[in-house]
Structure 1
């Protein structure tokens, strides 16, 4: 799942895992405070290491940001693979149900992760070095969904997931599961009532 690892390994004299702790702390700062809240000082405080340790391993904020975002993206892909494997043999309507549940769960339990996902996408618009990393979300999701439906519908589902997720982040009230499901059914089952209403 997308939960964070809060474990703190014992610190020996050489502290061989300090670099890993700095990376984990960077991810935690990202999830808690977003890209704008990421500083060497905040990471050092979260990792409980001297400030010089963060700059020793990662000279710039860009370096810290990139390595932490890599972890966030890898965790997302692992979560999506786990979700896809759990589906079993389902048809289009079952997939619409599963996708609706996925959106609801992501917003209820992993809202910080979803926010960071979109922050990465927006940051990539101005930072070319982040663009390849930012597109991993959509390409990985589309590839997984293409195993269940046509490539065009998989791409449409991915776009709908992004749209519904963004709407859910800014809406004053949580999105209704039935409304989310209707969007996915309109794509997956065009002849259904939801599909006819969307035409």
Structure 2
């Protein structure tokens, strides 16, 4: 395994641990174990836990951005083939199913965002992750609102995050396409 692949494996392992065990459960040794790497591998790449957390946050932001890019392509295809209403339904369905398929990314984002709110050494991590996660919502709201400047993106993103958080933590039902579509319609 080359250095780039090894580093990515470690960062994916760190994200998985953040989602399943939280900040305290994500240690260098645990990352080595979950990544099936020799003990000490993660410490070699990231000497301090803070360095590992920042790198994991950067990697997570890139994963969220990649997902956003894929949604944008799908949205454009739906608009071209079936019109705006079908495209909005597509986005709502994708965001609702994302609650299951990427639950670990959501939980890791929440864990890192909370840690950043409490720790000076993680300054900026929460803002970076929030921006990456809200990018698709902002993109779609601007498209479906005909470019209006006063679209309440933060309100919409907050509602979707809240519904997803309740589901991810076992406190609420899985977000539905109808819920997400209703949020889009209500804020426009």
Fold shared per TM-score above 0.5: yes
Quote the residue 1:35 is aligned against. 23
Higher helix share: 2
Q: Tell me which of the two structures has the higher relative contact order, counting C-alpha pairs closer than 8 angstroms and 6 or more residues apart.
A: 2
Indicate conservation of the 8 Å contact 1:138/1:158, yes or no: no
Q: For the residues of structure 2 that align with 1:40 and 1:122, how far apart are their CA atoms?
A: 20
Q: How far did residue 78 of structure 1 move?
A: 1.0
Quote the residue 2:183 is aligned against. 183
1:80 to 53, 68, 72: 68
Q: TM-score, normalised by structure 2?
A: 0.75
Q: Give the CA RMSD over aligned residues.
A: 2.8
1:60 to 48, 51, 57: 48
Quote the residue 2:139 is aligned against. 144
Name the CA shift for 1:128/1:178 in 2 (closer, same or farther; >3 Å): same
Q: TM-score, normalised by structure 1?
A: 0.72
Count of matched residue pairs = 175
Quote the residue 1:174 is aligned against. 174
Q: How far did residue 139 of structure 1 move?
A: 2.9
Indicate conservation of the 8 Å contact 2:32/2:39, yes or no: yes
Structure 1, unpaired ranges of 5+: 1-8, 189-199
Indicate conservation of the 8 Å contact 1:32/1:112, yes or no: yes
Q: Secondary structure at the match of 1:152?
A: coil
Q: For the residues of structure 1 that align with 2:6 and 2:66, how far apart are their CA atoms?
A: 25
Q: How far did residue 47 of structure 1 move?
A: 2.9
Structure 2, unpaired ranges of 5+: none
Max radius of gyration: which structure?
Answer: 1
